[in-house]
Amino acid sequence: MALHAEASRGAAGRLRLACSLVCCFLLDLCSGNLNLYLSQPEVRRLLGLEAELFYVRDGMVNTYALNFVVPVHPGIESLHFTWQSLAGRPLPYEVSVWASDLEALWPPQLNISARGEVPTYAQTWRVTLPCTGRADAEVDVALSVNVTLHRATNNITSLLFRRRKICRKGDPESQQPSVVVDAAAAVSEATPTLVFYVALGCACALIVIVLLAVAGCYLRTSKARRHGHILQESRHGSASSSAAGHASLLPPPPPPARATSAASSNSYASLRTSAGPLPAPGAAAQPPTDIHERIAQLTIQRCRVRLRSVVLEGTFGRVYRGSYTHEDGVEEEVLVKTVTDHASQVQVSLLLQEGMAMYGFSHKNILSVLGVSIEDHTSPFLIYPYHGYTNLKRFLQKCKLCPEGVAHTLTTQEVVDMALQIVAAVQFLHKKRLVHRDLAARNCVVDERLHVQLTDCALSRDLFPADYHCLGDNENRPVKWLAIESLLHNSYSPASDVWAFGVLLWELTTLAQQPYAEIDPFEMAAYLSDGFRLVQPVNCPDELFGVMAYCWAMSPDERPTFSQLQVCLQDFYTQLTRYV
Per the DSSP assignment, residues forming a β-bridge with 310 are 320
85-98 as b/e, with b when 16 or more CB fall inside 10 Å?
Answer: bbbeeebebebebe
Q: Where are the alpha helices (DSSP H) in 149-234?
A: 177-189, 192-227
Q: What are phi and psi of 480, to 5 degrees?
A: -85, 5
Rounded Cα–Cα distance for residues 364 and 458 (Å) = 20
**Residue 167: alpha-carbon gap to chain centroid:** 26
Per the DSSP assignment, residues forming a β-bridge with 390 are 446
Please return the burial class of 290, using the count of CB atoms within 10 Å of its CB with bins 0-12, 13-18 and 19+: middle
Of 140, 417, 438, 462, catalytic:
438
Residues 6+ apart with CB under 8 A from 69: 140, 162, 163, 164, 248, 250, 251, 252, 349
Rounded Cα–Cα distance for residues 458 and 337 (Å) = 8
What does the DSSP 8-state code read for residue 331? E
CA dihedral angle for residue 273, residue 450, residue 330, residue 354, rounded to 10 degrees: -10
Active site residue 530: no
Question: Taking a C-beta distance cutoff of 8 angstroms, is the pair 144, 36 a contact?
Answer: no
Question: Taking a C-beta distance cutoff of 8 angstroms, is the pair 485, 528 a contact?
Answer: no
Is residue 454 within a helix (H) or strand (E), and if so which, with residue range? Answer: strand 452-454
The crossing angle, in degrees rounded to 10, of helices 291-298 and 235-245 is 140
Residues 6+ apart with CB under 8 A from 331: 323, 324, 325
118-137 as b/e, with b when 16 or more CB fall inside 10 Å?
Answer: beeeeeeeebbbbbbbeeeb
* Active-site annotation, residues: 438
